[in-house]
Amino acid sequence: MRTIGWRLIGVCLIASVGVTAAPAQTVGLNRVMRAKLEIAQQILGDVVTSNWTALERHSEELRRATQDPSWRVLTTPEYVRHTESFLRASEDLLEAAKRRDLETAPLVYVSLTMSCVQCHRYVARMRIARSSLGTLEGPSLDDHAAR
């Protein structure tokens, strides 16, 4: 019984070391994500106040943020889908701003926010899953689970 207890403690320690060894966010990515968050907060204000000119400008800024090389954290198909979802939402938001569409703009903003949350969850899972490799590159989570 004691042997099992010590083994369990050992496994827990090894697992916790693996989780804390996950790759940290790079300075460049941190800068891009902070800028994206600030722009998204401005967009919320634009949507709530129907400031269409600012909404157009901020939507375009948000779309451009994805062109920064720091944005490309992963090369997995799932990450690409998350990025495409974010881009679609930012483009839809820009179109809603151009049409002065008070009904669509808030819905698209929610979609945009959800794309961020889902992507951040995905990246966090990938960091934990790949911490022992020391890299975020490699097969997708689905590929790993299928093995």
What whole-number distance in Å separates Cα of residue 76 and Cα of residue 40? Answer: 25
Alpha-carbon separation of residue 6 from 1, 17, 47, 124 (angstroms): 9, 16, 56, 29
Q: Which residues make Cβ contacts (< 8 Å) with residue 25, sequence separation at least 6?
A: 33
Q: Which residues make Cβ contacts (< 8 Å) with residue 85, sequence separation at least 6?
A: 115, 118, 119
Domain boundaries, the chain: 2-146
Question: For domain 2-146, is the CATH number 1.20.120.290?
Answer: yes
pTM of the model: 0.70
Highest mean pLDDT among 5-9, 64-68, 113-117, 129-133: 113-117
Per-residue b or e along 81-112, where b marks 16 or more CB atoms closer than 10 Å to that residue's CB: ebbebbeebbebbbebbeeebeeebeebbebb
pLDDT band at 41 (very low <50, low <70, confident <90, very high): very high
Q: Give 106-130 pLDDT, tens digit per residue.
A: 999 999 999 999 999 998 888 888 7
- Cα atoms found within 13 Å of the Cα of residue 57, Cβ hemisphere only: 7
Residue carrying the six token digits 């129907």: 50
